Amino acid sequence: VLIISDITERQRYEHTIRHMAYHDFLTGLPNRLLINDRMAIALPQAKRTQTMLAIIYLDLDNFKQINDTLGHIIGDRLLQEVAIRLQSQVRAGDTIARIGGDEFMFLFPGLSQARDAFQIADKILNSFSSPFNIEQKDILVTASFGISLFPVHGQNAETLVRNADDSLYRAKKLGRNNYQVYAPAVPPLLLDRSNLGKDPQRSSDKEAVGLTSWRKAYVFDEWETSGL
């Protein structure tokens, strides 16, 4: 009986250590190590099945300001609530990871078309439209994120993550609270803000929509010509 008990305790301890190594302590979400492991499995599978795979790199807007004004305890609670809400937007086979600070990464395997990724992205963006209630405070926070797709935007995890991060950076530059799909080049007309009106905020909003639409069209064209 003692031997069985010792084995059970050791197994429980090893499971706890393994879980801690692959999960974020604050939110309980997978961490960077675990999502990297799952990408290493998902990419060869996507190649075999000739399906799409999406990576989303998300960052909360102005999170530092929330921490500075409301305190780190509220900030941590907000991250926990954001994690819960984001989990409700994904499928059972998807992965959402907290990879540091207010940054999250999503892995969406087994997509049949690019439009599937954009529908998921719209759901994620819309999930931030209602405030988070934390200690009787309504906190409205938005998010910006970038999307890259296998096989259109890269053949390996490193390239896909880098391109999603690059698209996140563009989303931030375009006024935040939007998402951008990766594309290697942008037509000069879309970068000319003088054609978008005099109001800077409205110009930024229009440019974000214009770039997102153009990048989506680029993905559709590349997907069709890839033969998959």
Domains of the chain: 2-182 (3.30.70.270)
Rounded Cα–Cα distance for residues 146 and 25 (Å): 25
* 166 annotated active-site: no
pLDDT at 183: 85
Q: What is the pLDDT of residue 10?
A: 74
Least trusted range by pLDDT, from 90-104, 118-132, 137-151, 174-188:
174-188
Band of the pLDDT at 93, cuts 50, 70, 90?
very high
pLDDT grade for 17, boundaries at 50, 70 and 90: confident
pLDDT digits (tens, 9 = 90+) for 113-160: 999 999 999 999 999 999 999 999 999 999 999 999 999 999 999 999
Quick one: how far is CA 106 from the chain centroid?
Answer: 4
Tokens of 223: 């997907």
Any idea how long the chain is? 228
pLDDT at position 225 over 60: no
Task: Choose the weakest-confidence range: 85-89, 191-195, 200-204, 214-218.
Answer: 191-195
pLDDT at residue number 192: 43
Q: What is the pLDDT of residues 72-87, one digit of tens each?
A: 999 999 999 999 999 9
Measured distance CA(126)–CA(14) in Å, rounded: 39
- Residue 201 is predicted with a pLDDT of 46
Mean pLDDT calculated for residue range 51-55: 98
Q: Which two tokens stand for residue 96?
A: 């959402």
Evaluate whether 107 touches 95 at the Cβ level (below 8 Å).
yes
How far CA 17 is from CA of 9, 12, 34, in Å, comes to 12, 9, 14
Residue 69 pLDDT: 94
Confidence of residue 167 (pLDDT cuts 50, 70, 90): very high
Indicate the average pLDDT of the chain: 85
pLDDT of 190 strictly over 60: no
Which is catalytic among the residues 24, 59, 102, 166? 102
Residue 216 in this model has a pLDDT that exceeds 70: no
- Lowest-confidence pick of 108-122, 161-175, 185-199: 185-199
Q: How far apart are CA 188 and CA 207, in angstroms?
A: 12
